[in-house]
Amino acid sequence: MEKKNESKDYKVFIIDDVKYKTTLTQKFEKRVPYKFPNDSLIYSFIPGTIVKIFVTEGEIVKEGGRLLTLEAMKMKNNITVPFDGKILKIHVVEGQTIPKKFLMVEMELMAEIPETIKQKGSIDEVE
């Protein structure tokens, strides 16, 4: 019986000053790299229908204010503003049915909110 003389591509890892030689599986080499979540992109967490949109593009909003209402399984879910910022783009319209993980709103973090917005409070108080 002959042994196959295969040239293996060994990878070297150094852990605690010790070198380890190993091979990597094809599954490991083809994996999709991890992406850190982007807090300025707001995705749907469940499929549903957009019932009401409370903001407009270009609007400056405060943390905790309402962005929109998503109805799923006869329950209305209020999607709130995660941080003080500005609405860059709204990717949904009222009445639209969307799947899970659908991009609904793009926001921009604002370091400082103008005083006029601070005095009004959240979007809920402005209406």
Range with lowest mean pLDDT among 4-13, 39-48, 88-97, 100-109: 4-13
CATH class of 41-122: mainly beta
- The pTM (predicted TM-score) of the whole model is 0.64
Give residue-wise pLDDT tens across range 51-75. Answer: 999 999 999 999 999 999 999 999 9
In this structure, are residues 81 and 106 in contact, taking their beta carbons and an 8 Å threshold? no
Residue ranges of E strands in 2-98: 11-15, 18-22, 41-43, 48-53, 60-61, 66-72, 75-80, 85-90, 97-98
With tokens 């903001």, the residue in question is 55
